[in-house]
Amino acid sequence: MAHRLQSLGRVLRLTRATASIQQIQVRRQSIFGEFSKKLKEEIEKTKAATQTISQAASASAGATRARAQEVSSHAQEGFSRASQGVQGKAEELKDGAGKTASQAADAAEQAGGAARQIGASGSQPEAQADTQAANAEGAAAENSTKEPHGTAGGRKQETNQAGGTGAKAGTASSASLMERLRSMASLVQREVAAAILPENTTASATRAYDDSLRSEATNMGGSMMVAPETRWQKQWKDIEDKLGSHPLFQRLASFRNARVFSKGKEVADDLRERWETSDSPLVHRIQDMTENMTVETETAKTYREMRARDPAFDMIKFLRALKQDVQPVIQAYLKADAGVLKQHCSPEAVERLTSIVKAEHAQDRYADTHMLDISDVELHDLQLFDDNPVVVVRFNAQQINCFRDKFENVVDGSPDDVHRVVYVWALRQGKAGFVGKDGRLYAPQWQITEMAIGHAQKLL
């Protein structure tokens, strides 16, 4: 009996488990069906929204194209009208100039005829002179009787003068328009040339100055170049001078000698000392945060020192000029040409570079000095070394990996083996510039102190 009851309980438990599993499966199927329906609805909504957006984008693009065409057509019409107006003004000016020249020629002929008549009248007898005087009196009387006619003639002359003034004003306006058009055209030409054409940089960044330029009387020694005061600095100095002489500011300045001011200064110094010598972790965190935000970085210190020695220093122009020195310096290094290296490098660098190449020459190995391409010089780092600004740059050069002996026989590499070599230079700025004999101020010289050759990647 007990065995039957146990088997019956097992059957009931199995049926209950099976029913619960079926219910769970039904719930899962229902949840999955609802999720699939919602997903399909969202996909349909997304498709509809995408279609709407694409239609709106196409409509806006069409409207934009139509508007652009309309604006371009209006601009072309305006430009054509302006050009026609300028041409018309130019033709009017040419016609006016021709008329003026013809009138001047007629006036000159009339003046010559009058002069000839005057010369002829001078040779006539006195009786004929009396007759001419009487005729002149009669003409004066007739002119007095015909005064209204003369007034009308004067009005005509005034009208003609007014017309000439208007013509002159039109001529001036057309000339100013032409000048504006020329200036705009020249400005556009300069901007396009500066954007497209490469900048021709002929100055060297590291070549030593000629000794003939230096003068002992004008040598600046260890002093720094002083930058001229700007307009803002001059104005600020004038304002300080004016405010310093004002009675109110003089009275405020007299408070510094008061006992209250000295007592407050002592209290502030005591608080500052406590803040700096505090052992609180919170104070240390705040101090670290303020130092990170306010302390001058190594790069900023270096750049400030560079500008102090050379106020006109420009890093972009310096890197462009330095690219002009890459080829002669590397070729002189590969040839062990100490004369050229001394113009660009420090004495220590010259000794190191020449010793490396001379060791190769001692083994009867001479490197190929041809350079196929040089990349732009990039700034890598700025730092101070012994209170001297040092600029670290890097660039790539495509060279031929080929070594020959003294008989031009290839001993290593190949004339067709092209490698891209990475170079890193360290350049140090001189302490001060000098004033040459011609009165020109020369900036401090830059010298190559280190030259490192990185990895070489084979290209061909």
For the chain, report the end-to-end CA distance as a whole number of angstroms: 96
Is residue 350 scored above 90 in pLDDT?
yes
Provide CB contacts within 8 A for 225, sequence distance 6+.
Answer: 308, 309, 310, 311, 432, 433, 441, 443
Rounded Cα distance between 19 and 50, Å, is: 46
Is residue 391 scored above 90 in pLDDT?
yes
Residues above pLDDT 90, as percent of the chain:
21
Is residue 396 scored above 70 in pLDDT?
yes
Rounded Cα distance between 423 and 401, Å, is: 15
Higher pLDDT, 246 or 431: 431
Residues above pLDDT 70, as percent of the chain:
70
Q: How many CA atoms are closer than 13 Å to the CA of 360, on its beta-carbon side?
A: 18
pLDDT at 284: 86
Instruction: For residues 366-393, give the mean pLDDT.
Output: 91
Is residue 143 scored above 60 in pLDDT?
no
Is residue 355 scored above 50 in pLDDT?
yes
The model's pTM is: 0.48
Instruction: For residues 68-95, give the mean pLDDT.
Output: 69
Higher pLDDT, 35 or 228: 35
301-458 has CATH 3.10.450.240 classification: yes
Instruction: For residues 363-384, give the mean pLDDT.
Output: 91
Domain ranges in the chain? 1-111+170-176, 231-297, 301-458
Is residue 421 scored above 90 in pLDDT?
yes
pLDDT at 448: 95
Higher pLDDT, 252 or 159: 252
